[in-house]
Amino acid sequence: MILLDTNVVSEVMRPHPESAVIEWVNRADGGSLYVSSITIAEIEYGLHAMPESQRREDLRARFETFIHKAFAQRVLDFDEASARYYGLIMASRRRSGRPLSAPDGQIAAIARRNGMAVATRNESDFSGSGLKIINPWRLDGLL
């Protein structure tokens, strides 16, 4: 099972996404890909921060379709067990001199709690978190 980082979801939603990412998503067993409520929050924030425009409405429609059709029943929440992993991951990264943003820490914690890999372009954001990291932008970012 693989938890998608926000940058993977954002890439797929772009009008002209990177072909390597689309190929990677298409090769994946659809039932093995998940998103987190944190990713939904980050994308919602980005959409609300945009000026009102047709582009924003198009992105919103694409996002709603993507989440409700592609990820029905596969959105993972930040629960109590995830919160405990969050504390562990954030403290460990801080001690190593590589602090992590709160959203990335929460995504990492959700993945650890559920025994999942993380698919992301930003490998360094998740290194040292006890997770398998998959980079769909790289040819060796295989499933």
Q: What is the value of pTM for the model shown? A: 0.92
| Total length of the chain | 143
CA distances to 20, 59, 122 from 66, in Å: 18, 10, 22
The structure tokens listed for 44 are 């919602």
Binding site members: 5, 104
Q: What confidence tens digit (pLDDT) does each residue in 5-23 have?
A: 999 999 998 889 999 999 9
The answer as to whether 48 is a domain residue is yes
The answer as to whether 139 is a domain residue is no
Mean pLDDT of 69-86: 95
The answer as to whether 81 is a domain residue is yes
Binding site members for Mg(2+): 5, 104
CA 102 – CA 74 distance, rounded (Å): 22
CA 79 – CA 138 distance, rounded (Å): 32
Structural domain span for residue 90: 2-134
The answer as to whether 18 is a domain residue is yes
The structure tokens listed for 99 are 């602090």
Q: Which residues face 117 on adjacent strands?
A: 2
Structure-model confidence comparison of residues 118 and 68, the more confident one: 118
